[in-house]
Structure 1
Amino acid sequence: MANIQWPEPLVVEPTGHHTHTLILLHGRGSNGERFGLELLQSRTTAGQTLAEHFPGLKFVFPTARKNRAVMFNRSMVNQWFHDYLQDGPRDTIYDGLEKTTEFIHRLIHDEAHIIGTSRIVIGGLSQGCAMSLHVLLNWQSNEPLLGYVGMSGYLPLASILDECFTEDGRGLVDAARDFASLPTHEWADSEGPTFTRTPMLLGHGVHDDRVSILLGREAKALFDRAGCDIQWKEYDEGHWYKVPDQLNDIVSWLQRVML
């Protein structure tokens, strides 16, 4: 895995003046182009695409490297990390969390040089949601990310993170950074976690047979406890985003955070 280069992300430039950037991670077995193009072709109730709603928004859809998935008889698939959801051995997860965190942090830094950290939204679908939730937790900087949007996801190692919870939220950051082999953050006396200042939107289908909605609710509850500004939406849907309902909610939420 360490010797394989990351594929080039699908980048869709804004049609107007660049004001914000949205970085979204695909689910296991997909890729940035497949996920991104389908999402960008979907339309809201108003008959518009996300790009039409937000002409100043740049879209970045990275692709996970291919490696052997234990869950799929060691077939080569695009995945952000090895995972058994909440069951199975944990040691298979950490290498992917480390390598992918390094990659996504690099994408965020690259965009921050162009547009600024406070104008970047991250998120993802399914395993991409799971991975980007960890990135949200382990991203600790002087400036918070603008927002987070997740679909049909969960929080890997949630039970361990729950045990590391502290009222000030620092315990979650410390644990997430440790999972990703990041340096221990040196906390200033008055400093708080960056992630608690990032508004969040999480959506999940009640009929999801791949990632139980109970896991999505579990993730939402943990971020709630940390004091995050989080919106939670449930849909009459399976393992996917619901069109047009969920797209409508994403547009409304983006309009609020991008003001």
Structure 2
Amino acid sequence: MGLLDQCQELFKTANLYEVLGITKEATEAEIRRSYYKVSLKVHPDRAPDDPQATEKFQVLGKLYAVLSDKEQRAVYDEQGVVDEESDSLSQDRCWEDYWRLLFPRITKQDIIDFEKQYRSSDEERKDLLQLYVKHQGDMDVILTCVLCGSQEDEPRLADIIWAAIKNGEVEEFPAFAQESGKKKRARRKRADRERKEAEEMQKEMGLGQEDDSLMTMIKQRHASREQNFNSFLSDLEAKYSKKGGKSSKRAKK
């Protein structure tokens, strides 16, 4: 069974872009990020209850091998075909090793280095303003979603938003401009409570300040953001990991 037939059987569509939830116009970075997120959901270690997890994971690896190769992608876009005999689609290839080559494990130091690079960067400003517009100025939600942020960062982030409002870059939403002092105090109290809960959890687990557990560090810094944990790592891994190999043959469906 060919790749396109496998996609139809396992993902209910033979369109490679639809499997990843993206469009034909997606950039290389968007394809990479989407591949990571979709493959993470069906990774055999993370989806033990899915009897088709291993097969789905392998098919996604083949799919990415096609779309990440400029020549193969061009042929697929123009003719709707892929090369089933190319080295990149070899049946003997270990797709788990391929995936890990593309997305090496993120370490504690990687997170620390990323935070240093990200804070006060143009990228942080862009992301912050997008969140501001998306959530119409609700700082409770914005501070929950912003990367590498904490309650201590609120004044700095608020200044960035105010500057963007003054220069006409974004709209002045009442939820932000007219936020009550009561709501701000409640947010600070909630952050303090979450910080204490994280510290207590650390003590219960017997972990010290220098513990190398990535999960512990993230929970300490983002105690209220476990819903964004996988997304945070996904963006880091998809954005900063190495690129895989190339191949360049083709065949019909």
Same fold, judged at TM 0.5 (above): no
- Which TM-score bucket, shorter chain as reference? under 0.3
Q: What TM-score comes out, normalization by structure 2 length?
A: 0.27
Question: Between Structure 1 and Structure 2, which shows a larger proportion of strand residues?
Answer: 1
TM-score by length of structure 1 reads: 0.27
Whichever structure has more helix as a proportion of its residues is 2
- Structure whose CA Rg is larger: 2
